[in-house]
Structure 1
Amino acid sequence: MTEFNEKQIDILQVAERLFAEKGFDGTSIRDISKEAKINIAMISYYFGSKEKLLEALIFSRTADLKIQLENLRNEAIPPMEKIDRLIEFYVHRINKNKCIYQILHFEFSSQKRSVDFKAFTEVKKSNLLSLEKIITEGQDLGIFKKNIVIALIPPTILGTYFHFNMNRPYYEEIFDLKTEQDYDNYIKTDLTKHIQQTIKALLVYEN
């Protein structure tokens, strides 16, 4: 499923909020239908099950990054600038969709059920392909070194962001971030710049 109608989008938004607040197991289809002000049959009609609803939610929150990266890959700008832009996209998307990434982390680590994340995995593979093409372009131009493990770049970006977010009270104190706006601005500017510098060091500096 690649496109959603207005009612499906409403259901997905309600489900995302409830999954983040109460957990996947703690949220029932009845909870979602009540909050979305629709009957249970409509959720079953659109999505089939709670697991399929989660799959649709994950796909809806990650598919647009795929389009952004494909467009970036084809832009007529230097590879180093593409890397900066790519990291901006990643950090913005993660920060905007913190809830779904928290749900994802829990579900991937849970052994209690088998949720089919095939569509999400295919999106990640496509995103990695876009990143590989950007880095290969830089390697061909002699800008980036050859011995790069490209598949470890996305988790380096994600890991830095999530460490920062999971230790939010600590970083709010040491960086004097008093408001939500202060916190978001720090992520958008200083944290993003730090991640950009880290990734570019991995791409350029020899061991």
Structure 2
Amino acid sequence: METNFNDKQIKILEVAEVLFSEKGFDGTSIRDISKEAKINIAMISYYFGSKERLLEDLIIYRTSDLKLQLDHLILENLEPIEKVNKLIELYINRVNCNRGIYRILHFEFTSKKRNLNHEAFSELKKGNLKSLEAIIIEGQTKGVFKKDIVIPLITPTILGTFFHFQMNKPFFENLLNLNTEALYNNYIKTILTKHIQQTIKALLVYES
């Protein structure tokens, strides 16, 4: 799995991400990417081979470093619930700051219009799940977390709440008077994140 991209490859990937997000995968041509990145078409073909392979590499580029951050989190000298809270902050901040790639992912994985190689991305998600499992098991071993936790559903619970909020952005902007992008993002960073942390804590921790 290629993750060590050079500067030219990164430039191509970042341009492709913007165009795929704005115009869709089908609405973006290699020529569009070449023109915007100021890199000739032959070079893009040399690095990626095809537009489909470019999309696969874009997914890896934007998601592969999360496992490293989770590995570092596991080793931090924190209580299990503090690690879970930091994990939630990490996930929400990451998704909110990279809305373009997650918009692309949502469309591609739900439309199934292309036969993309999802194996590498699936392996990354399995690795991230193992990191979460390690934190949960630590909490269970310490007698802090419940024994009947369905660990694979924790991440969908975290992200599902965020994506519902994001998909209904105009409604919540009006309802909560979030009339600037700064206010909207601050609400996500503070109140929404805290709400998700409290929700996950209720699922994990024994009632006192």
TM-score bucket of the superposed structures, by smaller chain? over 0.9
- For 2:26 and 2:60, how far apart are their aligned partners in 1? 20
Q: Which residue of 1 aligns with 2:133?
A: 132
Matched, 1:7 2:8: yes
SS in 2 for 1:144: coil
- Runs of 4+ aligned residues of structure 1 deviating over 3 Å after TM superposition are none
TM-score, length-scaled by structure 1: 0.97
SS in 2 for 1:82: helix
Aligned length: 206
CA shift at 1:4, angstroms? 1.1
Q: Which residue of 1 aligns with 2:18?
A: 17
- For 1:101 and 1:113, how far apart are their aligned partners in 2? 17
Q: Deviations over 1:87-117 (max 9, x none)?
A: 0000000001111111111111123220002
Q: Deviations over 1:55-77 (max 9, x none)?
A: 11111111121111010011121
TM-score, length-scaled by structure 2: 0.97
Give percent identity, aligned residues only. 68
Q: Which residue of 2 aligns with 1:145?
A: 146
CA shift at 1:205, angstroms? 4.6
CA shift at 1:36, angstroms? 0.7
Unaligned runs of 5+ in 2: none
Matched, 1:98 2:111: no
131-140 vs 30-39, which deviates more?
Answer: 30-39
Q: Deviations over 1:148-180 (max 9, x none)?
A: 110011111111101001111111111111111
- For 1:182 and 1:205, how far apart are their aligned partners in 2? 34
Matched, 1:80 2:81: yes
Q: Which residue of 1 aligns with 2:168?
A: 167
- For 1:177 and 1:112, how far apart are their aligned partners in 2? 36
Q: Which residue of 2 aligns with 1:38?
A: 39
